[in-house]
Amino acid sequence: MSAVISRVAKARVSTVRLHRGSKFSDHALLVSILVLALFGAVMIASASMAFAQRTYLSPFYFVTRQVMFLGVGCLFGVLAFQVPLSLWEKYGPHLILVSILGLVLVLVPFIGVKVNGSRRWIDLGFFTIQVSETVKLFVVVYLAGYLVRRGHLVQTTFGGSGRALLLVTFACFLLILEPDFGAAVVIAVTASLMLFVAGVKFSQFACLIGALGAICASLVIWSPYRLERLVSFTDPFKDAYESGYQLTQSLIAIGMGGISGVGFGNSVQKMHFLPEAHTDFLFAVLSEELGLIGIIFTISLYVFIVSRCFYLSKKAEAQGNGFASYIALGIGIWIGLQSFINMGVSMGVLPTKGITLPLMSYGGSSAVVFAITFGLLLRVEWELAQRERLALHVGDALQEAYP
């Protein structure tokens, strides 16, 4: 028996040494994330040059800042990778409370910065932070821990799922006050789908979806500008120079792209025709310059990343690691949903909302938070690989002891 214990201990030591020398085993996931970030920076450079030259007298103003944001994001992403999942699980409730406090501070005059009628940023002097971006990540972390701790209650009682959504609902309420309706929708749908996968009763899930639908419909009806966006979305060319202007210009850009596009840097719509060309409507410029080929390439990157998230979720569930499973699941839903909404808005499939294309659109807070998110995702992959290799080494040791 002592010989078996000794062999198992040696197997554990050799596994630890092995992983110290090999941080990543899923190189395809890491490469796809880096390609997405660099591809986004290149497209920002192309989409923003005209606007940057006119506004800041420097054609590379936005891409320079984006590269800087990505550099800071990589630093924070590496730090996030170093944090064990057990600590993320332990401090999940604290993180969401801090983010909710940030949402409250955004609404305070002289603290929150108001831009284009929305108060979404906190000015730190050297940097403005969009708190809604951090809320998306911390909601996923908080819910993943809650579903592990209270999974049985979520599956059997209405109160179990209701308590899980209290903080999430309050966060969405604060986002609507900013207003940031798009972020609230992303968070609400992500949380709902995580609960559904966790095993909440279908009747409760149907009630939840019905309530969310009723709330969204009420917000649209009671808000003139949201109602105007919805009406213009159904027929943007009816008022092509007013309420439907942005979507009309986006559709023109996509239509001009064709199969292979007009060529990198040759977009016409970015020349002061399409507003927010380097942020919310970057996909339209990409479609115009690179055509269907560029669209397929971009969608393929997102599909691969999201599919890896779901694969890691399934793998973690098979290993009995519930927190890692829900983290990967939540990140996959969030990335897939947000990219789908952004592309859908640009193509006129969905009403216009101010939602960025993950890790591609210009934005400091978005770039840093997504870098942290992918650092956490790579941590999930690494810990799962570590468990898998440990199990293989222990199995080999046992087989050697008992041939």
Nearest-angstrom CA–CA distance, 50 and 271: 6
In this structure, what token pair is assigned to residue 166? 């209290």
Q: What is the CA radius of gyration of the chain?
A: 23
Residue 21: which pLDDT band, with cuts at 50, 70 and 90? very low
Residue 228: which pLDDT band, with cuts at 50, 70 and 90? low
pLDDT at 14: 45
In this structure, what token pair is assigned to residue 78? 């590496």
Q: Where are the domains of the chain?
A: 2-401
pLDDT at 4: 45
Residue 32: other Cβ atoms inside 10 A: 18
How deeply is 222 buried, as exposed, middle or buried, from its count of CB atoms within 10 A (0-12, 13-18, 19+)?
exposed
Of residues 383 and 235, more confidently modeled: 383
Rounded percentage of the chain residues whose pLDDT exceeds 70: 86
- Contact between 338 and 186 under an 8 Å Cβ cutoff? The reply is yes
Residue 402: which pLDDT band, with cuts at 50, 70 and 90? low
Q: Flag whether pLDDT at 314 surpasses 90.
A: yes
Rounded percentage of the chain residues whose pLDDT exceeds 90: 52
pLDDT at 15: 44
Q: Flag whether pLDDT at 233 surpasses 80.
A: no
Q: Flag whether pLDDT at 3 surpasses 60.
A: no
Average pLDDT estimate for 292-311? 96
Residue 80: other Cβ atoms inside 10 A: 20
Q: What are 213-221's contacts with CB under 8 Å, separation 24+?
A: 216/185, 219/176, 219/181
In this structure, what token pair is assigned to residue 311? 């694969």
How deeply is 230 buried, as exposed, middle or buried, from its count of CB atoms within 10 A (0-12, 13-18, 19+)?
middle
How does pLDDT run across 135-179, given as a tens digit for each residue?
999 999 999 999 999 888 888 887 787 888 888 889 988 898 888
Residue 118: beta bridge partners?
115
How does pLDDT run across 123-137, given as a tens digit for each residue?
777 678 888 999 999
Closest CA to 275 of 348, 338, 354, 350: 354
Q: Flag whether pLDDT at 347 surpasses 70.
A: yes
pLDDT at 18: 42
Of residues 321 and 24, more confidently modeled: 321
Give the ranges where 281-363 is alpha helix by DSSP (H): 282-318, 322-346
Of residues 144 and 222, more confidently modeled: 144
| Contacts for 350 with CB less than 8 Å, ≥ 6 apart | 233, 341, 344
Rounded to the nearest integer, the mean pLDDT of the chain is 85
Residue 224: which pLDDT band, with cuts at 50, 70 and 90? low
pLDDT at 111: 82
